[in-house]
Amino acid sequence: MNISIDNLPNDINLLKQIIVDFQRENLHWQEKYQILLEELNLCRRKRFGRSAEPLSPQGEVFNEAEVEAHRPDGAPSDDEACETQLSDVNDSITDDAVPDATVPSPAKKRRPRLPPHLPRREIIIHLPSGEQACDCCHQPMHVMGGEVREELEFIPAHVQVTRYIREKYGCRYCEQHGTEGSVKVAPPPPALIPKSYA
């Protein structure tokens, strides 16, 4: 109904009819608004609700409270096991191993070790064969150790630790002849999130 305020009729019955029509129209739009609001909420639940998650439920993987409650008395928790390992390493360091320095060097902050009871998968990364020759004397290099990086890999319903072992190469010829040999390390695989367990 298109009625402007300037040309309202003076008849009371006609004005009452106009008010009733406006109330009906208002009620109609309120019902329409409620229907659209319910549809919007339903779409949000379908898109962002629990049923929208594509992965199956993770079970007991992150149920730490119940694991703590069912652990036998005296058994250390995962956090306590990590702290015990770190304290054992710190206790095994002697004063002779600490160099005398007038300027104290800042202590490196290290991430705590991943618990040893988690299953582990090792991936050994070799230096490409073209780079296994010494830069100094061009003799073949041998594996003398490795650098280890551990990642915590989450697979639905089970967790495992993946160890990337980057082999270090040294030159026997330079070592035997007392020349300053070079050390090469295999390149690291790209991390999903640098400097993290994930």
Residue 198 CA to residue 189 CA, distance in Å, equals 14
> Which range is most confident: 36-40, 165-169, 172-176?
36-40
Name the H helices within 49-160. 64-70, 78-92
Q: Has residue 61 got a pLDDT over 70?
A: no
What does the pLDDT average to over 132-157? 84
pLDDT per residue over 90-135, tens digit each?
Answer: 555 544 545 555 667 777 777 788 888 888 888 888 888 888 888 8
Residue 68 CA to residue 50 CA, distance in Å, equals 26
Residue 147 CA to residue 19 CA, distance in Å, equals 83
HSE on the CB side for 118, CA within 13 Å? 22
Residue 28 CA to residue 15 CA, distance in Å, equals 20
What does the pLDDT average to over 166-171? 86
Q: What are phi and psi of 70, to 5 degrees?
A: -95, 0
pLDDT of residue 11: 85
pLDDT tier at 170, thresholds 50, 70, 90: confident
Residue 129 CA: distances (Å) to CA of 143, 164, 188: 12, 19, 16
What does the pLDDT average to over 140-149? 86
Q: Where are the domains of the chain?
A: 11-52, 55-91+111-117, 119-198
Give the residue from 112, 114, 124 showing the smallest Cα distance to 154: 114
pLDDT of residue 120: 86
What does the pLDDT average to over 14-32? 92
What does the pLDDT average to over 67-80? 60
Q: Are 123 and 153 in contact (CB under 8 A)?
A: no
In which region does residue 180 sit, left (phi positive, over 0), alpha (psi from -120 to 50) or beta (all else)? beta
Q: Has residue 198 got a pLDDT over 60?
A: yes
Beta bridge partners of 162: 121, 151
- Lowest-confidence segment of 30-44, 61-75, 160-174 by average pLDDT: 61-75
pLDDT of residue 33: 94
Q: Across all residues in the chain, what is the average pLDDT?
A: 76
pLDDT of residue 190: 82
Q: Has residue 39 got a pLDDT over 70?
A: yes
Q: Has residue 2 got a pLDDT over 70?
A: no
pLDDT tier at 58, thresholds 50, 70, 90: low
Q: Which residues contact 39 (CB under 8 A, 6 or more apart)?
A: none
